[in-house]
Amino acid sequence: MTTSDISSQILQDQIKSLSELTLSTIEQFEISTERKTRDCVVCVTDKFLDQFEGIFGDTCVHIERTVCNSCVYENTKCLVEDSMIYFGDVSCPEPNCNGKFDHNGIRQILLFIGKNKQLFEKYDLHLMYRQLEHMPEFLWCAYNCGSGQLYETGSSNPAVTCKKCNRSTCFKHRVVWHTDMSCDQYDLLNNQPSETDATNKWLEIFAKQCPQCHWHIQKYEGCDHMTCRQCKYEFCWICFVDYKLIASKGVSQHKTTCSHYQ
């Protein structure tokens, strides 16, 4: 082998080694890149892995997250807002996971990921009200202003003034204060001595029943788009049609006898 051939062989070996090194470097870079980022299955955006950290509920079954922090926050925000209307759970958005987020998990998502202190405080207040509802001293304002309060005086002074709207609710009967009528007179309405019968008679005259849960509702002002305080079902006050149907398909969904039908 000549000197020229030896030099050529050395050069080829160097080129091969350099190519292998370059290929290895590229592969290592790709592996490194894959390890540092991941596509979110919701927004389909490549994001760093630190956006997929954290488990927000003890009942979650997924091993690793595929939904990024931003999408988890937006999903949780919507569910939290809905839960304050429909009393539902806040579910994990991960595919094939039926886990529910606990209070601490929701706190992390709203406060630390979403920086939404206002919504978290509103949610916290909502949870407190749900607990208070089980206490006999707690009373919701009968005018549906969204406020409730503890009233320890009870039936000894049954006219309760709402701290939010300043209107009165009867503590004994849980209805709008019966002006110019004592509770005893209210009980004797239409010669019915039974408190339950008197209440039912009053509700029959002045209230309507929710089409879904049959809870009695009183309306004093505002539009005919009603939301039941008990089950949060939305309906038309006049024709009782589901308002979600009206909102999605238009006013033609009202009953033909309804004044809102077009």
Domain coordinates in residue numbering, the chain: 48-129, 135-253
pLDDT (0 to 100) of residue 31: 42
pLDDT (0 to 100) of residue 128: 85
pLDDT 10s per residue in the chain (262 long)?
A: 555 555 555 545 554 454 454 444 444 444 444 558 999 999 999 999 999 999 999 999 998 999 999 999 999 998 888 766 556 678 899 998 989 999 999 999 999 999 999 999 988 888 888 888 888 889 989 998 888 898 887 667 899 999 999 999 999 888 999 888 888 888 887 455 455 666 666 666 667 888 888 777 877 666 788 888 778 888 898 898 888 888 888 888 888 888 888 7
pLDDT (0 to 100) of residue 30: 47
Residue 242's contacts (CB-CB under 8 Å, 6 or more residues apart) are 211, 233, 234, 235
CATH of 48-129, picked from 3.30.40, 3.40.50, 2.40.420, 2.60.120, is: 3.30.40
pLDDT (0 to 100) of residue 23: 46
